[in-house]
Amino acid sequence: MIIGYARVSSASQNLARQIEDLKNYGCEYIFEEKVSGKNFDRPEYKKMKKKLRFGDVLVVHDLSRFGRNKEEIINEWKSLVDDNIDIVVLNLPVLNTAQYKDVEGIGKLVSDIFLSVMSWLVEEERTRIKTAQRQGIKIAKKQGKYKGRKIKYRPDAPNPMDRLAYETVVEMLKRKDSVMDIHRRTGIARMTIYRIKEELQELDVPVDLK
């Protein structure tokens, strides 16, 4: 079975291009989610791994869909290969484990070296973006141009009703209520609920969304 996995980091990003490429490749199932790639503790990724069986093929659009941490990418890759799961990275044809099954030595060596280099580049790119963002904010603050985002719903919101609404969202997320249920009860926009959920995940608060 050919199984695809598509991921973006936030609710505001679009999965359409990844999904189209995965369908064109011939994926029979596609797991998709909008969640940070800081680690592999992701709901849909876990479901996908349970679906994978001996001899299946896992397809991703690019290596960063696995994650952004070099060591974790390599460890996850090797774990899948050890379970006899083939992996295809669409924008890097050299990272196709199926083509090295009958090749001893140089073929697999090239793949391993390329995986190591590319996973390092993925991690470096993430670091570069974060550094650039911090530097940009620092410069803007010096120039008096950076005011920061005005976030209405937060734990220290000056308005008691906004604080209460935030706390309600957090509790419902912990109970694993759906975004739509939270939206209906609180009236808070779904994008805002996703933003709060992502903030909680950064703090390692166990939440999931249906």
* Active-site amino acid positions: 9
Q: How far apart are CA 15 and CA 8, in angstroms?
A: 7
Question: What is the C-alpha separation between 168 and 69, in angstroms, rounded?
Answer: 33
| Burial degree of 108 (CB within 10 A; 0-12, 13-18, 19+) | middle
Three-state SS for 37? Answer: coil
**Residues written for the chain:** 210
Look up residue 161 and give its two tokens. Answer: 């009703």
103 three-state secondary structure: coil
Tokens of 6: 């598509």
Give the DSSP H or E segment for 166. Answer: helix 160-174
User: Closest by alpha carbon to 182, among 196, 200, 168?
Assistant: 168
C-alpha to C-alpha distance for 38 and 102, rounded to whole angstroms: 34
> In the block, which residue shows the tokens 């008691």?
160
